Amino acid sequence: MSWSLCRGYALRLAEIVARESRGCGCITLSGGIDTSFVAAVHPKRRVLRAFTVDLGGSDVRYARLAAERLGLKDHIIVNPGLDDFSKAVDWVLRSMEVIDPVEVAASSIHYIALSAAAGEGCGCVLSGDGGDELFLGYSFLLDKSIGYLEEWRRRMAREARLPTVEVARMLGVDVIAPLYSRESRRLALETPLECLVKGRWGKWMIRMLLDELGLREIAFRDKAPVTEGSGSLAALKSLATAMGGGEGAGAGLDFNPPTMLHSFLAHRLKNLKGRLPPKASQEKRACPVCGRELRRGWCRFCGATVSPQGVATHYTGD
């Protein structure tokens, strides 16, 4: 399918996102495709205040480039020290009761960014949540069949998780995710797959429009998870090392942690709460790793993905 045809869908998405965003003057800016797109099409982008968390990853370079090229009003880069990051991790453990290292590292970044925005008086904050889910941005989707992709986006349009929105709700911060608005979801379902996946790129039409808007370096950067781009997963590993790791695999716990980070986070959660959340009841399917409830083959608590054959795997960034 030609770019001229796909460009029409991209422009429609830009109009929807601009309309949904117009009343909000702050944004969490990672420098990735989604937040850069939301900022680029904002109807009053020169009054936008952007917040980027930098823990030593690559994202800050792209966020600076986006803020400068787009002429944003303010770009506040938050550089948390290990103590500040530790407080964010503790908030996630207490509030969300998860020990999945990827989930904890990502949610800690959202907590820090949203707390900074709230501290600067932001009445609402824009996020890029939903872009990867609806417009096929995840790398693992690139070699999937058409049938898989169709089912994926239909399911995501019904029930995608929006991590920034979830953290914001717990903090009492108003977050708008314009890429996951009702209109954005409708458009995603009618957009031809050829406009979303092309070669090594997901979200192809969004990337192409970003290129037209002068953000070529961002448009064709490789997909980087927030935990990698921000440096939060590396910071979590440093924190675990500085605090003595996991106190021995499984010691004092009701399951055997699969990694040192799981062990560290489980012990820390237990110390903070005085307990771990209960295991799955007999009526529920239990995670073979930690014993907590599985939903759609995924354990929210430890992050295990369990195949229909019962094989559990973890992604920890190692």
Residue 308 has pLDDT above 80, yes or no: no
Residue 42, C-beta contacts closer than 8 angstroms, at least 6 positions apart = 18, 21, 22, 27, 48, 126
| Structural domains of the chain ordered from first start | 3-229 (3.40.50.620), 243-313 (no CATH)
Question: pLDDT: is 309 or 25 the higher one?
Answer: 25
- pLDDT confidence of residue 164: 96
Cα distance between residue 260 and residue 88, in whole Å: 19
Relative orientation angle of helices 204-212 and 33-40, to the nearest 10 degrees = 50
Q: Rounded mean pLDDT of 50-67?
A: 97
pLDDT tens-digit map of 254-287 = 999 999 999 999 999 999 999 999 999 988 889 9
This model's pTM is above 0.75: yes
Cα distance between residue 162 and residue 160, in whole Å: 6
Residue 310, C-beta contacts closer than 8 angstroms, at least 6 positions apart = 288
- pLDDT confidence of residue 318: 40
pLDDT tens-digit map of 103-127 = 999 999 999 999 999 999 999 999 9
Question: pLDDT: is 66 or 249 the higher one?
Answer: 66
Residue 17 has pLDDT above 70, yes or no: yes
Q: How many helices (H) and strands (E) are present in the chain, helices listed first?
A: 14, 9
